[in-house]
């Protein structure tokens, strides 16, 4: 079956153009062709939108280098094949560097059909890549817009809800101070529940705002020493370490490209998780890092109560908890923030654990290049 093809032939010898048409027909094409040999006629034909350009290397008033340049100046992506009676290797390489699809000698025109097929396939691949890039760019823009909207929503929700929450908290605390012990025991209990609930709501609103800021409120990435990151995280956790009699050990840690503030928060959240969910023994957490390919893989291994494998995904979902607040306090957002920080740095985070046998959190970040 013949394939229609609109062909622009830049050639001053009609017999040579007819040979090109003959070879294209042999390859299964049905060329609708026009021959030109001057710059003006070439530009006129170019405006008609050809599917393929076949150009002689040198013409009396024109040449293939200029023809290729003129096509590219119009931002056209048309397969451009140079055909010449004689062309040096340097000239052929230069054509390819400048964007020509292929080059052929006129005494080897039998290769023209395959060269045309290959050039058209390459153009289709470029068009597919442009379509894919455009789709990805749109999705990236949509995601950025969505993240910005989410951050704005979280900020507004936090700001607008804090004021009525403060009012409720103030009046409930006033009730507690004024009437505690003066009403029946049930009333004291109910007031206590309301006070505790308002405190909890305030913590959740603050945690929601913190989570929304991870992707939009960070600093630019720069070289960060993870040894210093660990020192800062441990300093922030000093009180919890003392209370739990926890121990944190580590292997040598690398320098990476990161947002140092967020990396401290990531280390702090993962270490804090190990300190919180410990068993009867004092918590022991070991941190290590190893390079695999183009990534660093960090490991935070603890000796705590472990996690049932069925909850490996759930623990990274915002406000999801596996235990009651009376036993393990918190908002249920620490690992969500950890996941967002890792993903902002181009990595992944996952967990490996056996219930009652400790937990290991792993995350990757690209190597510092």
> Which DSSP string do the residues of 79-138 spell out, in sequence order?
-EEEEESS--HHHHHHHHHHT-SEEEEGGGGGGHHHHHHHHHHHHHHHHHHHHHHHHHHH
> Which DSSP string do the residues of 318-348 spell out, in sequence order?
TT--SS-TTTS-S-S-HHHHHHHHHHHTT--
Question: In this structure, how many other beta carbons lie within 10 angstroms of the beta carbon of residue 19?
Answer: 16
Tell me if residue 298 falls in helix, strand or coil: strand
**What residues does 321 pair with on adjacent strands?**
none
> Greater confidence, 364 or 312?
364
> Is the predicted pLDDT of residue 342 greater than 80, yes or no?
yes
CATH number of 3-128: 3.40.50.2300
How far apart are alpha carbons 190 and 196 in whole angstroms?
A: 10
Please calculate the CA angle 265-269-275 and round it to the nearest 5 degrees.
140
pLDDT of res. 324: 47
Phi-psi category of 23—alpha, beta or left, where left has phi over 0 and alpha has psi -120 to 50? alpha
Identify the burial level of 56 via C-beta atoms within 10 angstroms of its C-beta, where 0-12 means exposed, 13-18 middle and 19 or more buried. buried
Q: How do residues 13-36 score in pLDDT, each as one tens digit?
A: 999 999 999 999 999 999 999 999
Task: Please state which of the ranges 51-60, 161-170, 265-274 shows the lowest mean pLDDT.
Answer: 161-170
> How many Å separate Cα 199 from the centre of its chain?
37
**What residues does 34 pair with on adjacent strands?**
8
How far apart are alpha carbons 220 and 258 in whole angstroms?
A: 8
Question: In this structure, how many other beta carbons lie within 10 angstroms of the beta carbon of residue 337?
Answer: 23
pLDDT bin (cut points 50, 70, 90) of residue 270 is: very high
> Greater confidence, 323 or 164?
164
Average pLDDT over residues 80-100: 86
pLDDT of res. 103: 87
> Is the predicted pLDDT of residue 230 greater than 60, yes or no?
yes
Question: Percentage of the chain surpassing pLDDT 70?
Answer: 85
Are 251 and 288 a contacting pair, CB within 8 Å? yes
> Is the predicted pLDDT of residue 162 greater than 70, yes or no?
no
Are 288 and 250 a contacting pair, CB within 8 Å? yes
Please calculate the CA angle 293-298-304 and round it to the nearest 5 degrees.
145
Q: What are the two backbone dihedrals, phi and then psi, of residue 333, each rounded to the nearest 5 degrees?
A: -125, -5
pLDDT bin (cut points 50, 70, 90) of residue 212 is: low
pLDDT of res. 88: 77
Indicate the average pLDDT of the chain. 84
Are 51 and 7 a contacting pair, CB within 8 Å? yes
> Which DSSP string do the residues of 278-297 spell out, in sequence order?
--SSPPEEEEEEEEETTEEE
pLDDT of res. 6: 94
In CATH terms, the fold of domain 222-366 is Heat Shock Protein 90 (3.30.565)
**What residues does 83 pair with on adjacent strands?**
56, 104
How far apart are alpha carbons 127 and 137 in whole angstroms?
A: 15
Burial 246-273 (b: 16+ CB within 10 A, else e): bebebeebbebbbbbebbbbbbbbbbbb
Q: Which residue has the tokens 């939009």?
A: 216
Tell me if residue 216 falls in helix, strand or coil: coil
């Amino acid at each position: 079956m013949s394939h229609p093809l609109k062909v622009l032939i830049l050639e001053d010898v009609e017999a040579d153009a007819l040979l090109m048409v003959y070879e294209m027909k042999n390859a299964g094409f049905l060329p609708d062709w026009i021959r030109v040999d001057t710059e003006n006629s070439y530009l006129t034909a170019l405006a008609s939108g050809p599917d393929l350009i076949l150009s002689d290397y040198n013409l009396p008033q024109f040449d293939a280098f200029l023809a290729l340049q003129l096509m590219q100046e119009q931002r056209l992506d048309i397969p451009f094949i140079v055909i010449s009676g004689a062309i040096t290797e340097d000239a052929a390489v230069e054509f390819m560097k400048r964007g020509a699809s292929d080059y052929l000698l006129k005494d080897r025109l039998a290769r023209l059909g395959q060269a045309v097929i290959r050039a058209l396939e390459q153009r289709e691949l470029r068009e597919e890549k442009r379509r894919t890039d455009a789709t990805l760019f749109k999705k990236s823009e949509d995601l950025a817009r969505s993240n910005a909207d989410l951050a704005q929503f979280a900020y507004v929700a936090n700001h607008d809800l804090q004021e009525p929450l403060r009012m409720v908290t103030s009046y409930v605390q006033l009730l507690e101070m004024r009437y505690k012990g003066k009403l029946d025991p049930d009333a004291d209990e109910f007031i206590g529940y309301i006070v505790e609930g308002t405190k909890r709501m305030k913590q959740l609103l603050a945690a929601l705002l913190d989570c929304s800021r991870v992707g939009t409120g960070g600093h630019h990435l720069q070289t960060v020493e993870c040894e210093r990151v660990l020192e800062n995280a441990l300093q922030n956790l000093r009180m919890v370490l003392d209370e739990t009699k926890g121990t944190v050990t580590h292997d040598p840690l690398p320098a990476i490209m990161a947002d140092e503030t967020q990396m401290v928060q990531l280390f702090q959240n993962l270490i804090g998780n190990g300190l919180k969910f410990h068993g009867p023994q004092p918590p022991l957490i070991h941190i290590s890092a190893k390079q695999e390919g183009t990534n660093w893989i960090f490991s935070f291994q603890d000796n705590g109560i472990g996690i049932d494998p069925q909850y490996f995904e759930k623990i990274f979902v915002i406000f999801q908890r596996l235990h009651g607040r009376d036993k393990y306090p918190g908002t249920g957002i620490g690992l969500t923030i950890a996941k967002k920080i890792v993903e902002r740095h181009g990595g992944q985070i996952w967990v490996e654990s056996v219930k009652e046998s400790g937990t290991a959190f792993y995350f990757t970040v690209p190597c510092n290049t």
